[in-house]
Amino acid sequence: MKRFFYFAFLIALLGLCWEYPILYPLKLLVVFFHESSHALATLLTGGQVKEFVINSQQGGHVISQGGNRFIILSAGYIGSLLWGVAIYSASVKSLYDKTIMGILGVSILLITIVLSSSLFSWVFGLFSGGAMLVMARFLADEYNDFALRIIGLTSMLYAPLDIYSDTISRRHLQSDAYFLAEQIGGTTLLWGSIWILISLLVIFYCLRWALNQPHH
């Protein structure tokens, strides 16, 4: 019961703050996860990343050459979802939250240094990764645990909302689903619907698993 109330508190906190500027850095971080997933999928399928950009309007893009287009285009929304699942699950399962925060910070710094192509991307990535290393070094485990859960939940919840906005309510946009339909087949609505279904199922099973873990 205690685990459930703690989870409900986190969800309520995010819900109350969702439209306020306080969550702006977290939403940018989810965009970073989204674009870095495109970039990593490109590299893992043998392609080259030509440009990696995050902008202040909570958007961004990756320009790539080569690689598997289906995997690359699918990796954005699904990747940001999986970043969230991994971060949230690790914070729930592990007692080493400071270490997890440090690893996350180093990962963001490395992606920024290797891939970033714009000033804003550099500033955001270096500041975010550096802030995480400071938290890991100087804050107690319980504060790092709280921050990791908030980051993980934000990234998980943002995924289906972003998919719906980009591929269903505004299906005319040139989104990942738009380009996938253009290059692979199907429609923007079809791919958006598939990704929403996948994201909701992943979130459901992740949270069900998390609520059955011992609280620490």
SS3 at position 154:
helix
Residues 139-171 pLDDT 10s: 999 999 999 999 999 999 999 988 988 888 776
Question: Average pLDDT of 8-36?
Answer: 92
> What is the structure's pLDDT at 166?
85
SS3 at position 91:
helix
| Measured distance between the N- and C-terminal CA atoms of the chain, rounded to whole angstroms | 13
Residues 51-63 pLDDT 10s: 999 999 999 999 9
Q: Where are the domains of the chain?
A: 23-211
Angle at 67 (CA atoms; ends 125, 199), nearest 5 degrees: 65
Q: Is the pLDDT of residue 2 over 80?
A: no
Residues 125-144 pLDDT 10s: 999 999 999 999 999 999 99
Average pLDDT, the chain: 92
> What is the structure's pLDDT at 216?
55
Cα–Cα distance for residue pair 158/150, rounded to 1 Å: 12
| Close Cβ partners of 140 (under 8 Å, ≥ 6 residues apart) | none
Q: Is the pLDDT of residue 1 over 70?
A: no
If one counts every other C-beta atom within 10 angstroms of the C-beta of residue 130, the result is: 14
Q: Is the distance from CB of 54 to CB of 32 less than 8 angstroms?
A: yes
> What is the structure's pLDDT at 114?
96
> What is the structure's pLDDT at 95?
87
Residue with tokens 């939940």: 153
> What is the structure's pLDDT at 131?
98
Q: Are strands 59-65 and 48-55 parallel, antiparallel or unpaired?
A: antiparallel
Residues 176-193 pLDDT 10s: 999 999 998 999 999 999
User: Nearest CA to 211 among 153, 147, 151?
Assistant: 153
Question: Average pLDDT of 93-103?
Answer: 94
Share of the chain above pLDDT 70, in %: 98
User: Nearest CA to 203 among 19, 33, 5, 7?
Assistant: 7
- CA-atom Rg of the chain in angstroms: 17
> What is the structure's pLDDT at 11?
87
> What is the structure's pLDDT at 4?
79
Q: Is the distance from CB of 2 to CB of 215 less than 8 angstroms?
A: yes
Structure tokens at 13: 């906190």
Concatenating the DSSP letter of every residue in 45-94 gives TT-EEEEEEEETTTEEEEEEESS-HHHHHHHHHHHHHHHHHHHHHHHHH-
> What is the structure's pLDDT at 85?
96
The backbone region for 185, taken as left when phi is positive above 0, alpha when psi lies in -120 to 50, beta otherwise, is: left
Whole-model pTM: value is 0.94
Report helix angle 119-138 to 24-44, nearest 10.
110
> What is the structure's pLDDT at 8?
86
> What is the structure's pLDDT at 214?
66
Question: Average pLDDT of 188-209?
Answer: 93
Band the pLDDT of 27: cuts 50, 70, 90: very high
